[in-house]
Amino acid sequence: FYFYPQLLELIAKSQLTSLSGIAQKNYMNILEKVVQKVLEDQQNIRLIRELLQTLYTSLCTLVQRVGKSVLVGNINMWVHRMESILHWQQQLNNIQITRPAFKGTTFTDLPLCLQLNIMQRLSDGRDLVSLGQVAPDLQVLSEDRLLWKKLCQYHFTDRQIRKRLILSEKGQLDWKKMYFKLIRCYPRKEQYGDTLQLCRHCHILSWKGTDHPCTANNPETCSTSLSPQDFINLFRF
């Protein structure tokens, strides 16, 4: 799922003016389906809020610069799309998270070591902060220095970390503050459950885990994983 929002956001930031009328329509249709999935599943809300805000900001800039930049389509169509984005944003803001009907074991019922183990698998520091706001015990766990240290080491190189050292009042490295400073300076490591694969032999795109009729002797050695930016670059000449 994360691949789609990242791709849509990259297009929103720099490729909107290069989209044809049909491409714009397809873009908005895909975006609408993504929003509807979030509304139904009540997951990844923040991710899509950020995507919509990025797109709205880009459209505001483009609409204001009509006549100075290449915009495909009637201005009224762009304004209509902006209204759709505002509507989707309002829908996301009105989401009421539905609590499970059953009363079974909750996250806080798990042993502390298991809670920490699960938290270590979160790749976004904002998720750790949000989890810490659920309960006082989780707030303490979410401040664990080792959690933030591993998060920094996962996303950033040693050299990047050394350039952004921050000490706490106790003279220790403040890994949490360092993480949020680092993400303002450097891109985080991209992480996707599903990735596109490009077969260098057949020049065919396919999702990882799906097969295509490759004629190479060793098909598995011919595939290259593509990030959303790599995918966009395929269409640049």
Comparison of pLDDT for 68 and 106, the residue scoring more:
106
pLDDT by residue (tens digit) across 130-168? 888 888 888 888 898 999 999 999 999 999 998 888 888
User: 51 pLDDT exceeds 70?
Assistant: yes
User: 120 pLDDT exceeds 80?
Assistant: yes
Nearest CA to 156 among 169, 175, 171, 170?
175
Residue where the block lists tokens 């303490």: 140
Comparison of pLDDT for 111 and 213, the residue scoring more:
111
Nearest CA to 224 among 203, 214, 212?
203
pLDDT by residue (tens digit) across 192-208? 777 788 888 888 888 87
Sheet holding 223-226, edge to edge: 205-207, 196-199, 223-226
Phi, psi of 123 (to 5 degrees): -100, 0
pLDDT by residue (tens digit) across 4-41? 888 889 888 888 888 888 888 899 999 999 999 999 88
Nearest CA to 200 among 211, 214, 210, 188?
214
* Per-residue model confidence (pLDDT) at position 237: 58
* Per-residue model confidence (pLDDT) at position 5: 86
Residue where the block lists tokens 């596109």: 196
Task: In whole angstroms, give the CA distance from residue 204 to residue 214.
Answer: 9
CATH domain 107-185 topology: Monooxygenase (1.20.1280)
* Per-residue model confidence (pLDDT) at position 32: 93
Task: Compute the mean pLDDT over every residue in the chain, rounded to the nearest whole number.
Answer: 84
What percentage of the chain exceeds 70 in pLDDT? 93
User: 236 pLDDT exceeds 80?
Assistant: no
Comparison of pLDDT for 84 and 212, the residue scoring more:
84
Beta bridge partners of 206: 197
